[in-house]
Amino acid sequence: MRIVPCTHAEHADAILALLNDAILHSTALYEYAPRPRASMRAWFEAKQAGGFPVLGAVDDDDRLLGFATFGPFRPHAAYKYSVEHSVYVREDQRRRGVGRALLTQLIAAARDQQRHQLIGGIDVENRASIALHESLGFVHAGTVRQAGFKFGRWLDLAFYQLLLDTPERPVDG
């Protein structure tokens, strides 16, 4: 397994497949409808415009095993050092270290960008993701009860955060 930067040309279809699988079969994304293929161009453009990494774990044949990214936590300027991240792993690759490798590299990318914290919103029933985050030093920062409604039930969204020792010199504005 290698960690590589993802591109629209090489990885958009595989990333879209992971996202749509999560939408249709899990509570990893609080969405109802699969995303259209055309949405990926804007998704990649937004990541590039914001300077946000999209990292992929690929096998020896360059097949995508999973991906991780981050983006703005909130749109207001004072949140510029906080990012919200996502990690998605193909179902047949879970519990094999793919998520850990991706999240570890994403943490390094956040430090390199002088971010102060990574925040993950995780459905409280996703015990594997919570365990992964806790094993890498993330701490529970709170839970929004009944934040979403999907599959005929209310969903609780837990927030996990990892504070970093960056930025070296934070500034207003």
- Report the CATH number that the domain containing residue 48 is assigned in CATH: 3.40.630.30
CA-CA distance, 43 to 89, in Å (whole number)?
18
Classify residue 104: in a domain, yes or no: yes
pLDDT average, residue stretch 62-69: 97
Confidence grade of residue 80 (pLDDT, cut at 50, 70, 90): very high
In a domain, 173, yes or no: no
**170 lies in some domain:** no
If one counts the domains in the chain, the total is: 1
The identity of residue 124, as a single letter, is V
Residues in the chain: 173
Is residue 172 assigned to a domain?
Answer: no
As beta bridge partners, residue 44 has: none
Q: Quick one: average pLDDT of 51-73? A: 97
Domain of 84? 2-163
Distance (Å, rounded) from C-alpha 37 to C-alpha 29?
Answer: 17
pTM (2 d.p.)? 0.94
Nearest partner of 65 among 86, 85, 89, 96, judged by Cα:
89
pLDDT in tens, 121-154: 999 999 999 999 999 999 999 999 999 999 999 9
pLDDT at residue 108 is higher than 90 = yes
Which residue intervals of the chain are DSSP H helices?
Answer: 8-25, 39-50, 98-112, 127-135
Q: For position 173, what pLDDT does the model report? A: 81
Look at residue 38 and tell me if it is in a domain.
Answer: yes
